[in-house]
Chain A
Amino acid sequence: MNDFLFIFLSFFALLGAFGMIVLHQPVHSALSLIVTLLALAGLFALLNASFLFAVQIIVYAGAILTLFIFIIMFLNVKESNLPKEPNKTLYLFLGGIVLIPLNLLVLRAFYAMPLLREPLAEDFGEIKPLGAELFTKWLLPFELISLLLLVALIGAVVFARKDEV
Chain B
Amino acid sequence: MIGLTHYLVLTGILFSIGLVGVMRRTNLLMLFFSTEILLNAVNIGFVAVSKFYGDLSGQMFAFFIIAVAASEVAVGLGLLILWYKRNGSVDLNSLQMMKG
- Using CB atoms and an 8 Å cutoff, list the residues of chain A in contact with chain B: 2-3, 6-7, 10, 13-14, 17-18, 20-21, 26, 29-30, 33, 36-37, 40, 43-44, 47-49, 51-52, 55-56, 59-60, 63-64, 67-68, 71-72, 74-75, 77, 81-83, 85, 88, 91-92, 95-96, 99-100, 102-103, 106-107, 110-111, 115, 117-121, 124-125, 129-130, 133-134, 138, 141, 145, 148-149, 151-153, 155-156, 158-160
Contact = CB atoms under 8 A, between A and B. Distances in A.
Interface of B: 1-2, 5-10, 12-14, 16-21, 23-27, 29-30, 32-34, 36-37, 40, 43-44, 47-48, 50-56, 59-60, 62-64, 66-75, 77-82, 84, 88-93
B75 A152 contact: yes
A17 B80 contact: no
Contacts, number: 217
The 3 closest A-B pairs by CB, nearest first: A152-B71, A159-B78, A83-B91
A21 B30 contact: yes
Given A14-B13, A156-B78, 10 more contacts: A13-B10, A14-B17, A20-B33, A21-B20, A21-B25, A44-B62, A95-B19, A99-B20, A107-B8, A152-B75
